[in-house]
Amino acid sequence: HPLSLCNTSEDEHTESGFITIVKLEQPDRDPNPCLSLANKAKLAGERGARAILFDITDDESAADQVQTLVIGLSQPVVLIRGHDAELLMGVVNKNREAHVKIEVKEP
């Protein structure tokens, strides 16, 4: 289930062990986001996320921001884009639960 990072309500409770998925918009479509990329990742970790995934399909420049973002986080931060992101966001948009396995392929 996606974490509502801009939701300040204390009523939203999440189960531990979830993975946060954040769809980043084109910077010109969202010039004043509720939180910076770093603060979104930090808040997700504070709320119990085991990993944080960012769909950067519409904001490839976000990949550069991740270099400084991961310092101080204990959770892995994963960037997804394109077809893989589309499939995963399809699960999220239908409010379905899914089990996710993250594999790192060496170049």
* CATH number of 19-93, picked from 3.90.230.10, 3.50.30.30, 3.20.20.70, 3.30.300.30: 3.50.30.30
Long-range contact pairs involving 57-60 (C-beta distance under 8 Å, separation at least 24)? 57/81, 57/82, 57/85, 57/86, 58/23, 58/24, 58/25, 58/26, 58/29, 59/24, 59/25, 59/26, 59/27
Rounded (5°) CA angle 79-62-107: 40
How confident is the model at residue 42, as a pLDDT? 83
The answer to whether residue 83 scores a pLDDT higher than 90 is yes
pLDDT over 50 at 3, yes or no: no
With 0.75 as the threshold, say if the pTM is over it: no
Mapped onto helix, strand or coil, the DSSP state of residue 79 is: strand
